Amino acid sequence: MSPSALPDPLAWTELLRVFGGLVAVIAVFVAALWLLKRVQPGMRAASGPMRVLATLHLAPREKLLLVQVGGQQLLLGSSAQGLTCLHVLATPVDLQPSAVAPGVAAALPASFPDWLRRAVEQRAKAKP
């Protein structure tokens, strides 16, 4: 085979062919991720009689879960070894903020961004 019979690697047709192959591979990868997200059962939102009401992370692989099953609430411990039912609550926990101490609730921000914004505002007011 003579060197003149080989295609020029910098020709537009060769560059388009390589680029088209790259786009096809990326499209297959995105489609596979989408399919895994749709099929994987752990990624679906909870529906039905069972819901996770609250989560408290204790360590990288340990957390407490407040789960409602029907009308009952359970406190579960999750660790590397598995799930453990720590307590079955006799009376359900009310997760709505109580109106008993409105001054305390107003003093505490709902989230970290709110707290940070308030701290920056207070620091700006304190500077002369």
HEC readout, the chain:
CCHHHCCCCCCHHHHHHHHHHHHHHHHHHHHHHHHHHHHCHHHCCCCCCEEEEEEEEEECCEEEEEEEECCEEEEEEEECCEEEEEEEECCCCCCCCCCCCHHHHHHCCCCHHHHHHHHHHHHHHHCC
pLDDT of residue 36: 86
pLDDT score for 98: 55
Q: 76: which 2 tokens?
A: 């579960």
Q: Look up residue 106 and give its two tokens.
A: 């107003």
Question: What is the C-alpha to C-alpha distance for residues 93 and 79, in angstroms, rounded to an integer?
Answer: 23
The pTM score is 0.44
pLDDT at 48: 74
Whole-angstrom distance, CA of residue 91 vs CA of residue 95: 12
Block means of pLDDT (10 residues each) for the chain, 128 residues, are 65 88 96 85 64 87 90 91 91 69 58 80 79
